[in-house]
C-alpha cells in the first residue's frame, strides 16, 4: 500500500485493489471513501500506460473514478494527485518496476496462444488481408481475452440494466402508475377466469390456487352423456332385452 498527503487529504493506493481518500479533519463528518476499484488497464501503442480504478463512491449522478499513471521511480510511492474534473481523479504512481524499457510491453505478458493470435493478425496486416481498423479490433479482443480490458458489451449491458432498473421506479408517481397497471391486469385475469367458471382462492402462503366448481364438473359429465357414452348405450340395450325376456 502506498499513500500521500496532499492539502488536507490523505490518499491510499493499493495496486489491483482500490484507491481511497481520507479527509484530514476533526469534523464529525469528515469524508473517507473509495475513489475507485481496480477495473482495467489503459493500453496505448500496445503498451501499458495507466490503471483505471472505477466504480468508487457515488458522486451525484455518477461514481468516482481514478486514472493511475505509471512512472519510473526509485521507490513505490504516490507522487502526485489531482482532480481534473469533478469526481475524476488523476494519480501518478512511481515504481522501479516500470523503469526497464520493455517492462510495460503487453506482448511478453500474454500466454502463448494469444501471442500466436497477435502474430497472425500482424502477418495478415502485412499481407493487406485486413485493414488497420481490423487489426486494432483483433488486438482489442486479445487484450479483453487476457483480462487487461473489460468487454465493452458487458459494460454496456450492466449500465443498461442499472439505468432501466433505476428509471422504472425513480419517482413515487411512476411507482403508482405501475401499480395501477398491475391492478388492472389482475382484475382482467380474474374476470377471464370467472368467465370460464374457474374460482381462485388464496392459500395461507398467499399463493393463488385455481379450482373448478362441482357444478361445472356435473355439466361436463352430463354433456358427455348426452353426446353418447358407449357404456350408457350398452346399459340401454340390456334394459330393452330384459323387458323383452319378461
Each residue's pLDDT tens digit, 50-82: 999 999 999 988 999 999 999 999 999 998 899
Helices (H), the chain: 112-126, 132-146, 152-168, 172-195, 214-226, 230-245
The grid coordinates of residue 19 equal 484507491
Dihedral angle over CA of 97, 12, 2, 52, nearest 10: 0
**Beta carbons of 113 and 122 less than 8 angstroms apart:** no
Mark whether 13 and 94 lie in a shared domain.
yes
The grid coordinates of residue 239 equal 334394459
Point out the domain boundary residue: 81, 100, 119: 100
pTM over the 0.75 mark: no
- Residue 12 placed within a domain: yes
Confidence at residue 1, expressed as pLDDT on a 0 to 100 scale: 61
Domain containing residue 133: 106-152
- Residue 191 placed within a domain: no
User: Does 19 score more than 90 pLDDT?
Assistant: yes
- Residue 23 placed within a domain: yes
Instruction: Decide which of 235 and 50 is more confident.
Output: 50
**Beta carbons of 92 and 69 less than 8 angstroms apart:** yes
Q: What radius of gyration do the chain's Cα atoms show?
A: 36
- Residue 112 placed within a domain: yes
- Residue 136 placed within a domain: yes
Dist. CA 237–CA 234, nearest whole Å: 5
When divided into structural domains, the chain yields a total of: 2
**Cell numbers 479533519: residue:** 25
- Residue 73 placed within a domain: yes
Amino acid at each position: 500500500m502506498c499513500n500521500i498527503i496532499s492539502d488536507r487529504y490523505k490518499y491510499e493506493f493499493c495496486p489491483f485493489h482500490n484507491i481511497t481518500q481520507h479527509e484530514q479533519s476533526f469534523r464529525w463528518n469528515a469524508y473517507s471513501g473509495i475513489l475507485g476499484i481496480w477495473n482495467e488497464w489503459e493500453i496505448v501503442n500496445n503498451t501499458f500506460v495507466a490503471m483505471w480504478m472505477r466504480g468508487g463512491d457515488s458522486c451525484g449522478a455518477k461514481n468516482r473514478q481514478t486514472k493511475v499513471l505509471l512512472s519510473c521511480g526509485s521507490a513505490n510511492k504516490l507522487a502526485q494527485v489531482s482532480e481534473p474534473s469533478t469526481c475524476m481523479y488523476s494519480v501518478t504512481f512511481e515504481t522501479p518496476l516500470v523503469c526497464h524499457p520493455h517492462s510495460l510491453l503487453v506482448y511478453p505478458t500474454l500466454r502463448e496462444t494469444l501471442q500466436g493470435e497477435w502474430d497472425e493478425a500482424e502477418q495478415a496486416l502485412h499481407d493487406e488481408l485486413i485493414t488497420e481498423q481490423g487489426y486494432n479490433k483483433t488486438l482489442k479482443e486479445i487484450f479483453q481475452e487476457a483480462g487487461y480490458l473489460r468487454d465493452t458489451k458487458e459494460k454496456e449491458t450492466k449500465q443498461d440494466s442499472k439505468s432501466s432498473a433505476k428509471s422504472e421506479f425513480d419517482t413515487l408517481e411512476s411507482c403508482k402508475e405501475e401499480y395501477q397497471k398491475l391492478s388492472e391486469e389482475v382484475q382482467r385475469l380474474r374476470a377471464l377466469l370467472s368467465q370460464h367458471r374457474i374460482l381462485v382462492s388464496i392459500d395461507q402462503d398467499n399463493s393463488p390456487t385455481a379450482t373448478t366448481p362441482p357444478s361445472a364438473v356435473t355439466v361436463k359429465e352430463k354433456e358427455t352423456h348426452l353426446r353418447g357414452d358407449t357404456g350408457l348405450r350398452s346399459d340401454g340395450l340390456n334394459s330393452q332385452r330384459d323387458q323383452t325376456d319378461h
